[in-house]
A = this chain, B = another copy of it.
Amino acid sequence: MLGASQAIEANVYGGAHISASAALASSEPSVDRFERGTIRRIEAKEHVFCDGDPRTHVFRIEEGVIALSKLLGDGRRQIIEFAYPGDYIGLGTLREHIFDAQATCAAKVRCLSAAALEQEASRDAGLALRLYKAVSAELAATRALLVSVGQQSAMERLAGFLLSLSARTANPGDETVVKLPMRRSDIADLLGLTIETVSRTITKLRTMHVIDVVRGTEVHILDIERLTELAGQ
């Protein structure tokens, strides 16, 4: 059906710890309109929007990574997903955002009017259906993360995270080099662990010669089979 739907299914089956909503793009002119919003540049750690802000826009990531997260009163934070280029954030039906969206590194996003999008979708079944599929894919990815956080050990979570990153962002053809465009604290808050546990687990994977880490931000997967085993099912 849609050109994008295959990419979505691939993501979902990959058991993603990251967003999987790339279904809105379309070649129809009636939709392209929403692809023409202004570009906004975001600094590392800058917010795209905050918990409680009115939901005026939907954003498509053009460059960089945006972390969607919930901050609890005492400083604990859960990251819900990392949104990569092609992903949309801010979809939904609520009038206000209920999460923070913060860049983990310098990024660019395209701003699309939420009201215009919703209005057009109420007339255009094709667009509404793409919205449905985009959110469904995101739901599947969030459920996969929930399974990981609820049931798996630190090692399983981290191995699974690296594999999902690899499947999602590595150059096609070379799945062994994975860039980590976020701090350890972001990974920790995604996986429901602490910075120290993430660091120790990465170290363990290095001493096992399953991965190699270059300058802290680039992971080379040396033994993808072993890594897959370590990720559990």
Known: A78-B151, A147-B70, A149-B150. A128 touches B139 (CB 8 A): no
User: How many angstroms from the CA of A91 to the CA of B126 in the assembled complex?
Assistant: 17
CB contacts (< 8 Å) of A216 on chain B: these are none
Q: Which residues of A contact B (CB under 8 A)?
A: 5, 8-9, 12-13, 70, 72-74, 76-78, 80, 91-94, 98-99, 121-129, 131-133, 135-140, 142-143, 145-147, 149-151, 189, 191-192, 232-233
Check B98 against A140 for contact (C-beta < 8 Å): yes
CB contacts (< 8 Å) of A74 on chain B: these are 232-233
Known: A78-B146, A129-B122. A140 touches B192 (CB 8 A): no
- Tell me the interface secondary structure of chain A in the complex: helix
User: How many angstroms from the CA of A78 to the CA of B157 in the assembled complex?
Assistant: 14
Check B125 against A121 for contact (C-beta < 8 Å): yes
Nearest CB in chain B to that of A232: its residue:
B72
Which residue among A74, A121, A125, A233 has the maximum number of chain B CB atoms within 10 Å of its CB?
A125
Nearest CB in chain B to that of A150: its residue:
B192
User: How many angstroms from the CA of A13 to the CA of B52 in the assembled complex?
Assistant: 12
- Copies of this polypeptide in the complex: 2
Check A80 against B146 for contact (C-beta < 8 Å): yes
Known: A72-B151, A125-B125, A128-B132. A142 touches B137 (CB 8 A): no
Known: A73-B232, A131-B132. A146 touches B142 (CB 8 A): yes
Which residue among A77, A139, A140, A233 has the maximum number of chain B CB atoms within 10 Å of its CB?
A139
Check B136 against A91 for contact (C-beta < 8 Å): yes
- The one of B8, B150, B233 that contacts A73, using a Cβ cutoff of 8 Å: B233
User: How many angstroms from the CA of A140 to the CA of B55 in the assembled complex?
Assistant: 14
Check B142 against A143 for contact (C-beta < 8 Å): yes
CB contacts (< 8 Å) of A131 on chain B: these are 128-129, 132
CB contacts (< 8 Å) of A91 on chain B: these are 136
